[in-house]
Amino acid sequence: MIELEAGPEVEPSQAEAFRQEVRAFLAANLTKELADAPRTSLLISEIPQQEWHRILAAKGWATPSWPVEFGGTGWSAEQHQVFEEELSRANAPPLSAFLEMIGPVLYTYGTEAQISRHLAPLREGEILWCQGYSEPGSGSDLASLRTRAVRDGDDYVVNGQKIWTTYAHQADWMFALVRTSTEGRPQAGISFLLIDMTTPGITIRPIRSIDGLHHLNEVFFSDVRVPVDNLVGAENAGWTIAKFLLEHERSGVGSLLTLKGQLDRVRAVADAAFDLTDPGQAREHGAIDYALCECEITLQALDAFNQRQAALSVRRAVHPAGPSMMKLAVTEVQQKIAELGVRALGIDALRDQSALVENYRPELMRGPPGGALVMLHYLFGRAFTILGGTSEIQRNLIFRSVGASASAP
Ligand SMILES: Cc1cc2nc3c(=O)[nH]c(=O)nc-3n(C[C@H](O)[C@H](O)[C@H](O)COP(=O)(O)OP(=O)(O)OC[C@H]3O[C@@H](n4cnc5c(N)ncnc54)[C@H](O)[C@@H]3O)c2cc1C
């Protein structure tokens, strides 16, 4: 769920006119190649994703939810909704999740120099970022992180290791949490640093994930000198920024827009996979179809919840557990949809996936939905209930803000 600025109220006829404007823009700019581009996770669609990002940025629509002075559109909640709906309908590639993570951090906590250096290239899709939070032994218990940054003149000298760093091998910059003090509570000694990935002393080692592809990395820092000017917020005050960013990350995991498209593709796969004249196959198809309908109803309910949160955010009245509730529910339904795709295809899904991983080329992912894509969704989808904070951690957070007050005497 994104925080929206209070945009103007829009008359129904104006909303319809806006819808037509978005449709006309999509018809003119969203090529078939971009619409058909694969999108199991973010990485696989990286080239079309960047191309689409630049097209939206040229129109001024890449970061609609940002404050207007930083490149937002000032749309009403309804216009945001129309925009999302039309992008979903046209099957537009989703933009990088990092956009709505580091962007809000920079314009909320960054110095003027940081804003003027980083915000425009981020908004325009020219610079890629990665997230250096997790470390071996510091995932859910993030505050225990040990990568040290020691002040030396106008620099910090960074030593340590990050892990599970998505896109580190492609990123130009990393936003990282580092330990600048060991005094007091662990949270009180953490700072938020922007690190240029070309700085000497950084080593990146790939991790191949369960889908067989390379999204993830280990990143090692050995006496990496980072200018003090790259500190966001005050030294040792990074924990507040870290949590602020995580809320934006949780809101972005598994967007409803992408999920609806995924559900439609799985339905098409299931429809094509069964011979409905065979009673056994027809029964299995019916069971899958029924389960997909249940997922669709859940998506509609989540969409309604999301819209309500968006409307409340204009009044700065969102429920504090909202991002955790959405992250938990969205990722679980995402996994269910992916499982149904695999159930429909059976062993074919696995065979196509193996062929894809052995000869990975983006073209293989284009065209009508096949087993490879279904299996990639299923395999990589296992990660969605882990990254950005596991489901167990989300349940703890929800309990803290909802359950604790409800169970109070
Ligand atoms: C595909 C993928 C991409 C990722 N990308 C990035 C990235 O770009 N940058 C980055 O910094 N990190 C990234 N991560 C890391 C991710 O944030 C961590 O994996 C996540 O926070 C969990 O931490 P962990 O892996 O150390 O598991 P652990 O924290 O060790 O958890 C292990 C298990 O214990 C459970 N558990 C732990 N603590 C509690 C508790 N208090 N109560 C109940 N259960 C608990 C967890 O739910 C989990 O089931 C990524 C992870 C994945 C899978």
pLDDT of residue 376: 80
Q: Which two tokens stand for residue 17?
A: 């006119």
Q: Which residues line ligand 1 (CB under 6 A)?
A: 130-134, 139-140, 164-166, 216, 383, 386-387, 389-390, 392-393, 396
Ligand 1 atom 2 nearest Cα: 387
pLDDT of residue 218: 98
Measured in Å, residue 144 CA sits from the centre of ligand 1 at 13
Q: What average pLDDT does range 339-363 have in this prediction?
A: 74
Looking at per-residue confidence, does 361 or 192 come out higher?
Answer: 192
From 164, 211, 334, give the residue whose CB has the most ligand 1 atoms within 8 Å, as the site to mutate.
164
pLDDT of residue 39: 63
Ligand 1 atom 23 nearest Cα: 139
Residue 163: what residue type?
A: I
From 42, 387, 399, give the residue whose CB has the most ligand 1 atoms within 8 Å, as the site to mutate.
387
Whole-number average pLDDT of the chain: 87
Ligand 1 atom 45 nearest Cα: 392
Q: What is the pLDDT of residues 114-164, one digit of tens each?
A: 999 999 999 999 999 999 999 999 999 999 999 999 999 999 999 999 999
Helix (H, G, I), strand (E, B) or coil at 266: helix
Angle made by CA atoms 187, 191, 192, in degrees to the nearest 5:
125
Comparing 94-98, 129-133, 245-249, the range with the smallest average pLDDT is 245-249
pLDDT of residue 10: 57
Strand partners, 162: 219
Residue 11: which pLDDT band, with cuts at 50, 70 and 90? low
CA distance 190 to 183: 10
Q: What average pLDDT does range 314-321 have in this prediction?
A: 76
Is the pLDDT reported for residue 307 higher than 90?
A: no
- Judge whether 179 and 138 are in contact, CB under 8 Å: no
Ligand 1 atom 16 nearest Cα: 387
Maximum CA pair distance of the chain? 77
Is the pLDDT reported for residue 357 higher than 70?
A: no
Q: Which two tokens stand for residue 303?
A: 């969409």
The model's pTM is 0.88
Is the pLDDT reported for residue 45 higher than 60?
A: no
DSSP letter string over 283-305? HHHHHHHHHHHHHHHHHHHHHHH
- Judge whether 190 and 141 are in contact, CB under 8 Å: no
CA distance 405 to 409: 9
- Judge whether 155 and 228 are in contact, CB under 8 Å: yes
Q: Beta-carbon neighbour count of residue 210 at 10 Å? A: 12
CA distance 390 to 327: 9
Radius of gyration of the chain (CA): 22
Residue 345: which pLDDT band, with cuts at 50, 70 and 90? confident
DSSP letter string over 298-327? HHHHHHHHHHHHHHHHHTT---TTHHHHHH
Q: Which of 132, 142, 159 is nearest to 226 (CA)?
A: 159
From 43, 131, 135, 140, give the residue whose CB has the most ligand 1 atoms within 8 Å, as the site to mutate.
140
Residue 149: what residue type?
A: A
Is the pLDDT reported for residue 3 higher than 50?
A: no
CA distance 355 to 150: 48
Enumerate domains of the chain plus CATH numbers: 12-97 (no CATH), 128-237 (2.40.110.10), 253-406 (1.20.140.10)
pLDDT of residue 38: 66
pLDDT of residue 370: 61
H helices then E strands: how many in the chain? Answer: 15, 8
pLDDT of residue 209: 86
Is the pLDDT reported for residue 380 higher than 90?
A: no
